[in-house]
Amino acid sequence: MTPPLVAVAHGSRDPRSAATVRELIDLVRASAPGTDVYESFLDLSEPGLPAVLRRLHDQGHREAVVVPLLLGSAYHARVDLPALVEAVTADRPDFTVRVADVLGADPALETVALDRIAAAAPAAPGTGIVLSAVGSSNARANAVVADLAARWEKRLGVPVSEAFASAARPDVPAAVARLRARGARRIVVASWFLAPGLLPDRIATLAGAGDAAFVAGALGPDPRVAEVVLRRYAAAVPRPARLSS
């Protein structure tokens, strides 16, 4: 029997965020009918990850795989998540919880984000793209977004600048100014966020949405995102030992 898949998102005070996560998890369930799939959150939304894991143990499960619905490997992935798992397993030695890799800058997610840009604003001369992300105190996590922006610029042939909502530079106004200085007359804001929420809304406001900017939607409940979740899960599930002949 395969272990349950427990997807864990960051959580938000904005109810749209949790609703989007639940829609995504419905797609994951539909794509993996033989696997029990549960949603959970690190903070601000319910159910919390520890409660879900404890309930699974109480139901008799002795294994679970946690898949972080995170686009970067920063503080939440490296510190918060392991601490929450440890809080559950410390007094449950018969319960093994494996944590899969974050979703990260998977090529499938890049394609979804680019599709969101195309849906928000048809291609036009003089376009510049702001690749907006949450931002982190972890320089490596921010570098992943900067590298993604560089790849998009080469691929699309238009100026692209990363921008962060907090904890890192450039911020959104600085990114817009950078693109204007390079000749961009029209700004498109790409959302490197899994779901809508307060931070994406703030980014849209700072970029001038409704005035001079077009804002692409978050990655959201897309079948391609669900497939990445399942690939992260499959990579974390232990494979049966092969018998030598």
* pLDDT tens track for 159-202: 999 999 998 999 999 999 999 999 999 999 999 999 999 999 99
Query: What is the residue-averaged pLDDT of the chain?
Result: 93
The predicted structure's pLDDT at residue 110: 97
Q: Tell me the fold of 107-215.
A: Rossmann fold (3.40.50)
| Strand-strand pairing, 213-215 and 127-133 | unpaired
Tell how far CA 180 is from the center of its chain. Answer: 28
Question: Tokens representing 206?
Answer: 């700072």
* Reported pTM: 0.94
pLDDT at 240: 64
Cα(49)–Cα(30) distance, rounded to whole angstroms? 22
Q: Do domains 5-104+222-236 and 107-215 have the same CATH topology?
A: yes
Quickly name the fold that domain 5-104+222-236 has: Rossmann fold (3.40.50)
Q: What is the mean pLDDT of residues 136-150?
A: 95
* Residue 211, pLDDT above cutoff 70: no
Band (pLDDT 50/70/90 cuts) for residue 239 is: confident
Where exactly are the structural domains of the chain? 5-104+222-236, 107-215
- 124 pLDDT exceeds 90? no
- The yes-or-no verdict on residue 37 having pLDDT over 80 is yes
200-205 LR contacts (CB < 8 Å, sep 24+): 200/132, 201/14, 202/165, 203/132, 203/163, 203/165, 203/172
